[in-house]
Chains A and B, each alone.
Chain A
């Protein structure tokens, strides 16, 4: 009953997502499960709104995984990656090796050829990067030891896919030529080259990406940013990711790995936050699409044909992987909490299994009769993962877990500044320098690419981007920061930043720079108490020095300025409140003149009088002076 039109398909997928994800989130199931359920519902075995093209959609949507790894790379400084080398190689290697070996043994025990059993083992040892990372991210568990280790293992698996793909044809019973490849790994540049040359090309490309990321991409983005066209920047960001993915495919590496590497290289770039916020929505949508496709691809006919076998296989797969992971985690001395999280998170088959199965079938390593039910098993195990993690979180952790998790998680949050300064011009730079001089590191956001470039050379944490965007504020750490200092010179922009920040981060304290009276009113109306008129203090200092030049005592002038400023600030607030009372809103110049009139009248009545009566002997002289002269 479905039609092939692009818009029709887009409509079906988008409505499925829009309807099911909020419901799933509401029920506490998380977005991944929501997408998967949506996929099952619209899939050929329920409503049948999407059909066989689901497979193509899945291939397309796999790009979401690539983007996700790019984003993960962006958040991972090279130094941090280096710190992870032990879990990546140790944990990852042990997990893949042990799992493959056990499945190999089981396969042989069930009477499969050892080649087939080994291919099965290698394929099923892999877990689902997409589902695991998305779920961990959503739960905010990426920075915990369990999350970090899960990530390390996934990274190792991503790398392991390359040799597995290379080994697969060698396991073939003989007559299929190596390197015939499937659609996924089509003709590449390196095919036909000897192994050493292939390795050389791959290494060369990796070095190229690192060098380009270091020296080429930043200047390029600077030029693009200077056009101040947002969509061109977004296009460039997409181009970067797609370009790297293509290049990687051409040299026979996994595109996910390549973009991850590019992300790591760019993690220190000033355009990091901007790239992040530009790629993020694409990644989110594609990943959602991917999960829907996984859901839709679960072959319920096959399951219905032999539900017992499939159930047993699913349980066996999850149990086996869980036990291996748990033992490995124990071996690496993970705490119980983290180990449970780690093991539950990774105890499923991964999306690479789909690729590897079809590749293995083509190479006649695995017969279709074995592969098809296992594809269903992998899909079901993937779909069960969010559920398993939910069970771990809600049922198992509270009972068996220890309480150290919270403290541990807080430890590992990376260097998040407590202060965000939006705008690094005359005002922002002074505030920032002052804070830095007093040992407070701030995160800066600025929209002028030249400015950003200069400041980064001075070693400051400055990022390019428009601070009125929620996603950029988020990327700069507004969720964890205590204070947002808005120091941009455009009142319209200031108000936009303030409104975004107040809406999304009600607990974030905000201080704002204003230009004059009118925009100060607006900020006060928006509920910002800490409004700083950019010229008030210099004007008053100048006025105080003028008084001194005219013969006033410095201390007297200073006190007069303080009195004046206090009065002026109070009056500003009174006038801001008063504006709402008057029915006719008199704006602009007339309003200002009226305000100034009221102000000056007030001042001549109150402020001018000397109030330092403690230093005034007049009344004392009246009382005691007479007494003394009398006596």
Chain B
């Protein structure tokens, strides 16, 4: 059984519609640690040692956040800057994260079509995630495709519920080892892994 750490970052959670629903029940799931970053560090005073300990105690690391300006919210960026230390996370002596799995759960306002050369975001999600993918690679982690909730500006409650249910099923499969890593690595989105098994 794999232990999963969800690092959740949303600076204005009180205004959230989609993410508020998506995380429902996560904290109660067995084998999953739900870590609400903005709640833990409202003043950005990240406890580096505690964060590193948290990382060491898990096998799968998930960044769960809205895709603000094609990146993570500010606190999660600061978290990367401070927690992923040289000599700990990367470098010849930095092997603490070796072979852990890593992926993003992100929500975007724009629809899937917007993230293409023809759309107004021009780049694909995978292209835009390149900095994070490379970060994971440098930390010798296994970078999995992201789980993406597109089109949140016009999403219906039923659609959100479907995303939530599918996402949590995915997490359960990963947790229980009922997951084909090689197959998943071929995909653009983790969403499609579920499509495959459906």
User: Do A555 and B153 have beta carbons less than 8 Å apart?
Assistant: no
Cα(A106)–Cα(B97), bound, Å:
91
Given A553-B39, A554-B39, A555-B39, A628:B15 Cβ within 8 A: no
A620→B39 contact, CB < 8 A: no
Do A552 and B153 touch across chains, with their CB atoms under 8 A apart?
Answer: no
Q: How far is the CB of B130 from chain A (nearest CB, A)?
A: 24
Question: Which residue of the partner chain, among A554, A620, A621, A628, contacts B111 with CB atoms under 8 Å?
Answer: A628
Q: Which residues of A contact B110 (CB under 8 A)?
A: 624
Most buried by A among B13, B43, B109, B154: B154
Is the pair B11, A621 in contact by a Cβ cutoff of 8 Å? no
- Name the residue on A nearest B111 (C-beta): A628
The answer to whether B13 touches A624, judged by C-beta atoms less than 8 angstroms apart, is no
CA distance in complex: A616, B11 (Å): 11
Given contacts A616-B12, A617-B15, contact A555 B154 (CB under 8 A): no
Known contacts: A558-B43, A629-B154. The answer to whether A615 contacts B38 by CB under 8 A is: no
What is the minimal beta-carbon distance from A221 to any residue of chain B, in angstroms? 45
Q: State whether B153 touches A625 (Cβ < 8 A).
A: yes
Asked if A624 contacts B12 (CB within 8 A), the reply is no
Is A67 interfacial (CB 8 A cutoff)? no
Q: Find chain A residues with CB under 8 A from B13 CB.
A: 553, 555-556
Total B residues in contact with A, Cβ cutoff 8 Å = 17
Give the residue of A554, A610, A621 whose beta carbon is less than 8 angstroms from that of B153: A621
With A620-B109, A621-B153, A628-B154 already in contact, the answer to whether A615 and B39 are too (CB < 8 A) is no
Determine whether the beta carbon of B14 is less than 8 Å from that of A628.
no
Q: A612-B12, A620-B109 are in contact. Are A553 and B154 (CB under 8 A)?
A: no
Contact with B along A593-631 (1 / 0, CB 8 A): 000000000000000001010011100110011101101
Closest A residue to B120 by beta carbon equals: A624
Residues of chain A from 470 to 509 with CB closer than 8 A to chain B in the complex: none
Q: How long is the Cα–Cα vector from A612 to B73 in the complex, in angstroms?
A: 14
Docked-complex contact B154 and A616, CB < 8 angstroms = no
Q: Mark A128-150, 1 if CB is under 8 A from B, else 0.
A: 00000000000000000000000
Which range holds the interface residue count of chain A?
20 to 34
Cβ of A557 within 8 Å of any chain B Cβ, yes or no, is: yes
A617, B42: Cβ atoms closer than 8 Å: no
- Please tell me if B94 contacts chain A, counting CB pairs below 8 Å: no
Q: Measured between alpha carbons, how far is A631 from B111 in the docked complex, in Å?
A: 10
List B contacts of A554 (CB < 8 A).
Answer: 38-39, 42
Nearest CB in chain B to that of A630: its residue:
B154
**A626 closest partner in B (C-beta):** B154
Find chain A residues with CB under 8 A from B31 CB. none
In whole angstroms, what is the CA distance A626 to B113 when docked? Answer: 15
Q: How far is the CA of A617 from the CA of B108 in the complex (A)?
A: 11
A631 and B150 alpha carbons, distance in the complex (Å) = 14
Measured between beta carbons, the chain A residues less than 8 angstroms from B12 are 556, 612, 615-616
Chain B residues with CB under 8 Å of A621's CB are 109, 153-154
Q: Separation in Å of the A611 CB from the closest CB of chain B? A: 11
Contact present for A625 and B11 (CB under 8 Å) = no
A617 touches B109 (CB 8 A): yes
Q: Residues of A contacting B153 with CB < 8 Å?
A: 617, 620-621, 624-625, 628
User: How far apart are A617's CB and chain B's nearest CB, in angstroms?
Assistant: 6
A-B contact count, CB below 8 Å?
A: 51
A620 CA to B153 CA in the complex, in Å? 7
Q: Nearest B residue to A622 by beta-carbon distance? A: B153
Chain B residues near A553 (CB-CB < 8 A): 13-14, 38-39, 42
Tell whether A625 pairs with B14 under 8 Å between CB atoms, given A554-B39, A555-B38, A557-B42.
no
Considering the complex, give the chain A residue whose CB is closest to the CB of B151.
Answer: A628
A624 to B11, CA, bound (A): 22
A610, B11: Cα distance in complex, Å: 13
- CB-CB under 8 A from B39, the residues of chain A are 553-555
A555-B38, A625-B154 given; A615·B11 CB < 8 A: yes
Are A616 and B15 within 8 A (Cβ)? yes
How many Å lie between the Cα of A553 and that of B38 in the bound state?
8
List, in ascending order, chain A residues with CB within 8 A of B11's CB: 555, 612, 615
Chain B residues 78 to 126 lying within 8 A of chain A, measured CB to CB, are 109-111, 113
Chain A residues with Cβ below 8 Å from B109 are 617, 620-621, 624
With a CB–CB cut-off of 8 A, which chain A residues contact B151? Answer: 628
Interface string of B147-162 (1 = CB under 8 A from A): 0000111100000000
Alpha-carbon gap, A610 to B14, bound state (A): 11
| Min distance, Cβ B14 to any Cβ of chain A, angstroms | 5
Partner of A555, one of B42, B111, B113, B152: B42
For window 156-211 of chain A, which residues contact chain B by CB distance below 8 Å? none
Q: Which residues of A contact B113 (CB under 8 A)?
A: 631
Q: A100 → chain B, closest Cβ, in Å?
A: 71
Name B110's closest neighbour in chain A (CB-CB).
A624
Give the CA-CA distance A289 to B127 in the complex, in Å.
88
Point out the residues of chain B lying under 8 angstroms from A556, CB to CB: 12-14
B76 to chain A, nearest CB (A): 12
A553-B11 Cα distance, complex, nearest whole Å = 9
A540-558 residues with Cβ-Cβ distance < 8 A to B are 552-558
CB-contacts of B14-39 with A (<8 A) = 14-15, 38-39
| Residues from chain B with Cβ under 8 Å of A552 in the complex | 14
Which chain A positions have C-beta within 8 A of B152?
617
Assess the B111–A558 pair: CB atoms within 8 A: no
Q: Which residues of B contact A617 (CB under 8 A)?
A: 15, 109, 152-153
Q: Which residues of B contact A626 (CB under 8 A)?
A: 154
The CA of A557 and the CA of B13, in the complex, are separated in Å by 12
The answer to whether B15 touches A615, judged by C-beta atoms less than 8 angstroms apart, is yes
Residue from A610, A612, A615 with most neighbouring chain B CB atoms (10 Å): A615
Question: Which B residues are in CB contact (< 8 Å) with A610?
Answer: 15
- The chain B residue sitting closest to A621, CB to CB, is B153
Contacts of B38 in A (CB 8 A): 553-555
CB of B56, distance to nearest CB on chain A (Å): 25
State in angstroms the CA–CA spacing of A629 and B153 once bound together. 9
Q: How far is the CA of A556 from the CA of B14 in the complex (A)?
A: 8
Q: How long is the Cα–Cα vector from A615 to B12 in the complex, in angstroms? A: 6
A450 to B154, CA, bound (A): 69
> From residue B65, how far is it (CB to closest CB) to chain A in Å?
12
Closest A residue to B153 by beta carbon equals A625
Q: Given the interface contacts A621-B153, A624-B153, A625-B153, does A558 sit within 8 Å of B42 by beta carbon?
A: yes
6 CB-based A-B contacts, threshold 8 Å: A553-B39, A553-B42, A554-B39, A616-B15, A617-B153, A624-B110
Q: 7 shortest A-B CB distances, which residue pairs? A: A615-B12, A554-B42, A625-B153, A558-B42, A555-B42, A628-B154, A625-B154
Besides A553-B38, A556-B13, A616-B15, 13 more A-B contacts (Cβ < 8 Å) are A552-B14, A553-B14, A553-B39, A555-B42, A558-B42, A558-B43, A610-B15, A615-B15, A617-B15, A617-B109, A617-B152, A621-B109, A621-B153
Show the binding face of B for A, using Cβ within 8 Å: 11-15, 38-39, 42-43, 109-111, 113, 151-154
